Amino acid sequence: MGVIYVLLTISIIVAILFFTAFIISVRSGQYDDAYTPSVRMLFEDELVKPDQEINKDIPNDTIENKNK
């Protein structure tokens, strides 16, 4: 019946693994903002625009020029 020690050890290790994962995720601030990610995940696809060429032609200071 020594197998019970093995099982207990495994189950506790697994539990502690998940627990550490939880602590790390809280510490990194994942739960500070629970709303924005839900909106952000819907953007992904539209970020890639077909005509990437245009971007390269416009220098960084586009905005500066526009307002002059």
Partner 1 sequence: MDKVNCYHCGDDCGKKPIEFDGKSFCCNGCKTVYDIFSTNDLSYYYDLQSSAGATPTVVEGKYDFLQEASIIAKLLEFNEDKLQIVNLYIPHIHCSSCIWILENLNKLNTSISSSQVDFPKKTVRIVYNPKLINLKDLVVLLARIGYEPYISLDDYDKGQPPVNRGLIYKLGIAGFAFGNVMFLSFPEYFEVDEFWLDQYKGVFRWLMFTFSLPVVFYAGQDYFISAFKGLRSKILNIDVPIAMGILVLFVRSTLEIIFDWGTGFFDSLTGLIFFLLLGKFFQQKTYSFLSFERDYKSYFPIAVTRITDRNKEETVQVYDVKQGDRLLIRNGELIPVDGILINGRAQIDYSFVTGESEAVFKESGDKIYAGGKQLEDAIEMDVLKSVSQSYLTQLWSNTVFSKDKASKFQTLTDSIGKRFTWAVLTIAFVATAYWLYFDSSKAMNVFTAVLIIACPCAIALAAPFTLGNMLRIFGRKKFYLKDTKTIEQLAKIDTAIFDKTGTITTTQKSSATYEGMRLSFEEESLLKNTLRASNHPLSRTLYDLLASHNIVPLDEYQEHLGLGLEGKKDNDHIRIGSADFVGNSIDNDPQNTSVHISSNNTYKGKFVFHNHYRKGVSNVFKEMNNTLDLAILSGDNEGEKTRLEKILPKLTPMYFKQKPEDKLNFINSLQEQDKKVMMVGDGLNDAGALAQSNVGIAISENVNVFSPACDGILDASKFDQLYTYIIASKKAMKIIRLSFLLSFLYNVIGLYFAVTGQLEPVIAAILMPLSSISVVGFTTLATNILGKKLK
Residues that bind partner 1 (CB under 8 A): 1, 4-5, 8, 12, 15, 19, 22-23, 26-27, 29, 31-36, 39-40, 42-43, 46-47, 49, 51, 54-55, 58, 60, 62-63, 66-67
Give exposure, 9-31, as e/b (b: 16+ Cβ within 10 Å). eeeeeeeeeeeeeeeeeeeeeee
CB of 10 to partner 1, least distance (A): 13
Dihedral sign of CA atoms 39, 44, 45, 51 in order: positive
CB of 23 to partner 1, least distance (A): 7
